[in-house]
Amino acid sequence: MIDACVELLEEVGRHRLSREQIARRAGVSLPAVTRRFDSVDDILLAIARTPPHVPSTPDGVDSLRSFLVASLTRAARRFATTPIRRSASELLAAAAGDPRIADAFQTALAGVRAEGLEWAERAREQGEIGAGVDAEVLLDLASGAVYYRLLWRGEAIAEDEVAPLVDLILAGAARGASPGTADRPPTPG
């Protein structure tokens, strides 16, 4: 039923989404949907509770770089094959207005985020990134580039663009400072 909800959210938006449509799309009866969802907000809550993927280390991952490339390539592949721009935007809007949805969304993403933070810590220990790099900011930069393009430009990042993006971010991280803390040239004046 969650897949039907996401598909319909993409097609009709939050304000036109109904339990009747979900029942038809999912191939179940309306009473089956009604037993599970009391309202459209409950439907959005169920979507928000569903993580984008189960945290698991993809095959061949042995560094922060390979972890980021594999993770972002998985996202790029999904965004290229599954239209989710509108549903993601609608879910973010719902989260902004409903703390239950916001909490569910954060909880669903926590496992994915924790996996990335573990890889960043390993990278710090192995010298792949500098000691002063804020792992949270590093992950925000990597995933933010992918999601920004999807939400604001309406495009999925191409798979062949992922590795150069990761390399660019990690080149800065190898210097050892998080954005905003690196030495900057003096401002003319």
Residue 161 lies in a domain: yes
Q: Which CATH number belongs to the domain containing residue 122 in this structure?
A: 1.10.357.10
pLDDT for position 44 = 84
Residue 148 lies in a domain: yes
* Tokens read off for 43: 């439907």
Report the C-alpha gap between 147 and 76 in whole angstroms.
10
Residue 6 lies in a domain: no
State residue 77 phi and psi, 5-degree precision: -65, -40
Residue 144 lies in a domain: yes
Instruction: Give the total number of structural domains in the chain.
Output: 1
Closest CA to 152 of 88, 71, 107, 109: 88
pLDDT for position 184 = 44
pLDDT tens, per residue, the chain with 189 residues = 788 888 888 888 888 888 899 999 999 999 999 998 888 888 888 888 876 655 566 678 889 999 999 988 888 887 777 777 778 888 888 888 889 999 988 888 887 788 899 999 999 999 889 989 999 999 999 988 888 888 888 888 889 999 999 999 999 888 765 455 444 444 454
State residue 138 phi and psi, 5-degree precision: -60, -45
Residue 41 lies in a domain: no
Closest CA to 37 of 7, 2, 10, 86: 2
pLDDT for position 176 = 65
pLDDT for position 77 = 82
**Angle, nearest 10°, between helix axes 40-48 and 19-26?**
50
Residue 189 lies in a domain: no
* H helix intervals, the chain: 2-12, 19-26, 30-36, 40-48, 64-81, 85-97, 99-125, 135-148, 159-174
* Tokens read off for 110: 């926590």
Our CA angle for 81, 87, 91, nearest 5°, is 140
Residue 166 lies in a domain: yes
pLDDT for position 105 = 84
pLDDT for position 119 = 93
* Tokens read off for 53: 């993927």
Q: What is the residue range of 59's domain?
A: 55-82+109-179
Residue 174 lies in a domain: yes
Contact 112, 53 (CB under 8 A): yes
pLDDT for position 165 = 93
pTM score: 0.71
pLDDT for position 28 = 94
pLDDT for position 57 = 66
